[in-house]
Structure 1
Amino acid sequence: MTSGAGTVRTVGVVGAGAIGASWAAHLLAQGRHVVVTDPADDAQERLLAFVEPLVDAESLDRLTFSPEITALRDVDLVIEAGPERLDVKRSVFAALDAVVRPDVLLTSSSSGLLPSDFQDACEHPERVLVAHPFNPPHLVPLVEVVGGRLTSPAAVDQAMTQLAALGKVPVRLQQELPGHVVNRLQAALWREAYALVTRGAISVADLDLAVANGPGLRWALLGPFATQHLSGGGGQGIAHILAHLGPPMEAWWADLSPATTLDPKMVDAVVQGTDAELADVDEADLLARRDAALAQLIADKAARGL
């Protein structure tokens, strides 16, 4: 890989869905030229409907749309945000590999697929990796960087550098895992949350209140290890927590819900509880207020060095 030291001026985005459009909005706000490709008939319309309220007119002038993947021939970085289907990924990456310069990274926003499972469709698999954003990418800075079996270490280093330069917070995963790391952590919480609601231990609304007004507040500022360390008090830190609260925590682990399946009873409990919680809520307004609060929180964290 030779372009890592160069500036990423133009980014190609494959897919104009929710993730691709959000990536485009972020990249335009970062001052980059963005070329979006998507073969769907209404793709350009959907893209503009998402992006126009988020960026100024000058930024929109740096946005190009084409239904043809060949439009990405001269980009400096590719972000694929297409369907989460392995057959589609293999086809798209093979096409990208044939069009885009060999020194340009080909990254996938896949939320759980392994890069090793589709990079071998390319002649240059060493430049293929996953760069999984946290939704929505135009607001949330996290990107998980995952190399595959054939990805070169230089490509991973290059991805970390380029993503940081694009205003993201990249984290390097040392292993390929289904769901990567963050989605696995979310899945662990959801599994127990769904089980607690299904068994009648708490309502959906109260569980949401508990997380949003308790641990979620601290998790938004520091990760689980740093949070636990600060809970130790008196300078004793996480070693004190593990020594004194470790045994009861192990007992809680043993009592957690076993392997859980989304059977009809669980699905009904979760869906009905969520519908009841949000019955009188304007979801578009809630989403807008959440996004505004997210933007303010991220700005406050940056101002405080968190």
Structure 2
Amino acid sequence: MQITKAACIGGGVIGAGWVARLVLNGIDVALYDPDPQASRKVDEVLAGARRAYLQMVPSGLPKEGRVTYVSTVAEAVGDADFIQESVPERLDLKHKVLAEIDAHARPDALIGSSTSGIKPTEMASALQHPERLVVAHPFNPVYLLPLVEIVGGEKTAPEFIDKAKAVYASIGMKPVVIRKEIEAFVGDRLLEAIWRESLWLIKDGITTVEELDDIIRYSFGLRWAQMGLFQTYRIAGGEAGMRHFMEQFGPCLSWPWTKLTDVPEFNDELVDLIAGQSDEQSGHYTIRELEKIRDDNLVAIMGTLAQQNEGQGWGAGALQKDYVARLKAAGEAQG
């Protein structure tokens, strides 16, 4: 499904990423954000995204969409086919903004919320047309990482779930519909488990921020990047596969290795410890420099995966290969 006009409400880190992905796919975007610095911040993110896409899509990008900065929510959403809300994670603010979107958007317009943990049913209570609201939870950077978790609420209509899948797939994403409505969905629940255990390991002086990052990025992070968790563990089971792996390592679940049911006290001391070590690790880079390094690495990993499996691509690389081919075909058809 192709969309021609989109609206983005909120231009922070996630909102700006949505603007970049949409604009670089040739879609005009009306953006509302009350931050007086919004245009500067979004333009900087867009510049970084444009640079990354030129590496990722050597065959050429479609003609860029336009970004129009508007002064009201109503002006942004009035004629939009698709609306992406990315305001801060406060239910009262979500209610206020979503109700305003709902009041001024076309009845057939899809509304996606970038929330990372609030249930869609809780947000939809403020809407007159709750059937067209879905959670569309992306991962940063939105313009490069393809996954988007689609979550419907109690009143979300099945046709809008289908519409969401088609819309996000049309801009090069991998939509995964979460089967049951739960807080934090799936991706963030997994990240939360790793985050909690990481805080304990730092707090207890077992490792540092930099050492922990190295443990992830030089080992299982590389495996996860192309096979995920279960396919990786299936291989670890050898010729007997997943059943053997489960039988061999299942008993470890009863061993007291982790502290996932316990949380370290979140106090100034812990914040200072983590922030100080992070400054030592990365303080010599600006955020824009780190974004550039991150984007180059992601483009390279996905580019390599696109050449695997006898040229058919693998995982995110296969998705990228198909996306680039579609952009190339669309450009040839237009030219």
Q: In the alignment, is the contact (CA less than 8 A) between 1:28 and 1:55 conserved in 2?
A: no
Pairing of 1:96-175 with structure 2 (within 5 A): 96-175=101-180
Query: 1:41: which partner in 2?
Result: 36
Matches within 5 A, 1:1-306: 7-55=2-50, 59=63, 62-71=66-75, 72-234=77-239, 236-251=240-255, 254-257=256-259, 258-260=261-263, 261-281=265-285, 283-303=287-307, 304-306=313-315
Compare 41-50 and 90-99 and name the one that shifted more: 41-50
> Which AA in structure 2 matches 1:23?
W
C-alpha distance after superposition, 1:241-300 (max 9, x if no partner): 00112113432xx33114103234433332232233235455543331111111222233
User: TM-score of the superposition, structure 1-length normalised?
Assistant: 0.90
Give SS of 2:176's match.
strand
RMSD across aligned C-alpha pairs, in angstroms? Answer: 2.1
2-structure distance, mates of 1:14, 1:82 = 7
The number of equivalent residue pairs is 298
Q: Decide whether aligned partners of structure 1 residues 30 and 174 sit closer, same or farther in structure 2, where only a CA change above 3 A counts.
A: same
2:333 matched to which residue of 1? none
- What amino acid is aligned across from residue 314 of structure 2 in structure 1? G
Instruction: Answer yes or no: is the 8 Å Cα contact 2:26–2:65 preserved in 1.
Output: no
Normalization by structure 2: what TM-score? Answer: 0.83
Could you say what secondary structure the match of 2:238 adopts?
coil
List gaps (5 residues or longer) in structure 2. Answer: 52-60, 308-312, 316-335
Instruction: Work out whether residues 22 and 65 of structure 2, in 8 Å CA contact, stay in contact via their aligned partners in 1.
Output: no
The answer as to whether partners of 2:113 and 2:136 remain within 8 angstroms in 1 is: yes
Please state how far the C-alpha of 1:305 moved relative to its aligned partner: 2.3
Preserved contact between residue 195 and residue 266 of structure 1 (Cα < 8 Å): no
Tell me the CA shift for residue 185 of structure 1. 0.6
Gaps of 5+ in 1: 1-5
Point out which structure has higher relative CO (alpha carbons under 8 A, 6+ apart): 2
Runs of 4+ in structure 1 over 6 Å off: none
- What's the offset of the Cα at 1:129? 1.3
Conserved 8 A contact 2:226-2:314: no
